[in-house]
């Protein structure tokens, strides 16, 4: 599993560089780059200082959990570009902000509740962060579907793979907290397997550069924009008619 993950990480970095997608998906690349550095550092610690390995593992994992919000932001900014009218519409309605606030609040309450029972801050953070991130990804994809906005292969693969991984990690950490040591062999397998599966889907998603259709983002506009263009076109039509009738 370790070698499979390392091979997929190298392949993923190579495809991003070869396809010229590093700058286009910079936040996604930052996350992937951290994962590569994290794994190299953990392997080095495992070889030289196994006693401190758990502290390094959970410490780097905490940073890893925070950086996963970069993936949420990447999916959002690619799905709703800042220059598009739809971005302004979503921001004005504050739909995603409301969902984010509810999700973060629920995740924090869940983390406090589970920590008071299990006293495992790492599992509590994994569960709460995974829940919030999965909900946010689902909300972005739902809003895109609601506004009939097509999502390209790159963003779709990144979002769906990460959403599935966050959902599975949340469920696994919850079961691990309930069953404790009896579930540890399954957790030891499911946790890296779900991450490797996510890397495999990401590699497929970015194998070719296929961004969100630009035309769809520009075609979706608010009624005021349509009214303004209609008025301009009508004015030009009237002016042309007058020139024809009165040369």
Q: Which DSSP string corresponds to 199-215?
A: HHHHHHHTSS-----HH
- In the structure encoding, which two tokens stand for residue 67, read together? 């950086």
Task: Please report how the helices 53-79 and 26-48 are oriented relative to each other, as an axis angle in degrees rounded to 10.
Answer: 170
pLDDT tens digits along 129-159: 888 888 889 888 988 888 788 899 999 999 9
Task: Tokens for 247, please give them.
Answer: 């040369």
| Higher-scoring residue by pLDDT: 195, 82 | 195
Using the predicted structure, report yes or no on whether residue 203 has a pLDDT greater than 90.
yes
Question: Of 145, 149, 9, 162, nearest to 73 (Cα)?
Answer: 162
pLDDT digits (tens, 9 = 90+) for 205-223: 999 999 888 533 444 444 4
Q: What is the pLDDT of residue 1?
A: 61
pLDDT in tens, 70-123: 999 999 889 888 766 666 555 555 455 555 555 555 555 555 555 555 556 667
Q: Which residue has the tokens 């079961």?
A: 175
- pLDDT band at 226, cuts 50/70/90? very low
Q: Which of the two residues, 68 and 228, has the higher pLDDT score?
A: 68
CA dist list (Å): 43 to 14, 188, 191, 232: 21, 17, 17, 64
Do 74 and 30 meet the contact criterion of CB atoms below 8 Å apart? Answer: no
Summarize pLDDT for 4-31 with one digit per residue, the tens. Answer: 888 899 999 999 999 999 999 999 999 9
Q: How far apart, in whole angstroms, are the C-alpha atoms of residue 79 and residue 86?
A: 10
CB 161 within 8 A of CB 202: yes
Minimum mean pLDDT range among 40-44, 125-129, 230-234: 230-234
CB neighbourhood size of 195 (10 A): 17
Other CB atoms within 10 A of residue 48 CB:
9
Q: Which residue has the tokens 């739909």?
A: 95
């Amino acid at each position: 599993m370790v070698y499979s993950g390392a091979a997929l990480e190298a392949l993923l970095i190579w495809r991003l560089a070869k396809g010229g997608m590093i700058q286009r998906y910079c936040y996604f690349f930052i996350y992937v780059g951290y994962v590569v550095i994290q794994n190299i550092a953990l392997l080095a610690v495992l070889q030289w200082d196994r006693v401190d390995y758990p502290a390094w593992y959970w410490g780097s994992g905490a940073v890893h959990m925070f950086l996963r919000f970069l993936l949420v932001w990447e999916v959002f900014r690619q799905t709703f570009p800042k220059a598009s009218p739809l971005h302004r519409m979503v921001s004005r309605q504050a739909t995603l902000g409301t969902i984010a606030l509810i999700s973060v609040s629920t995740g924090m309450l869940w983390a406090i509740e589970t920590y008071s029972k299990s006293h495992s801050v790492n599992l509590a953070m994994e569960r709460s962060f995974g829940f919030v991130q999965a909900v946010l990804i689902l909300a972005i994809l739902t809003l895109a579907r609601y506004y009939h906005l097509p999502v390209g292969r790159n963003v779709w693969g990144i979002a769906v793979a990460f959403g599935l991984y966050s959902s599975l990690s949340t469920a696994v950490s919850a079961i691990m907290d309930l069953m404790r040591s009896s579930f540890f062999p399954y957790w030891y397998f499911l946790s890296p397997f779900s991450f490797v599966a996510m890397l495999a889907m990401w590699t497929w998603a970015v194998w070719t550069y296929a961004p969100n259709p630009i035309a769809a983002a520009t075609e979706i506009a608010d009624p005021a924009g349509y009214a303004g263009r209609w008025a301009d076109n009508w004015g030009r039509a009237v002016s042309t008619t007058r020139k024809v009738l009165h040369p």
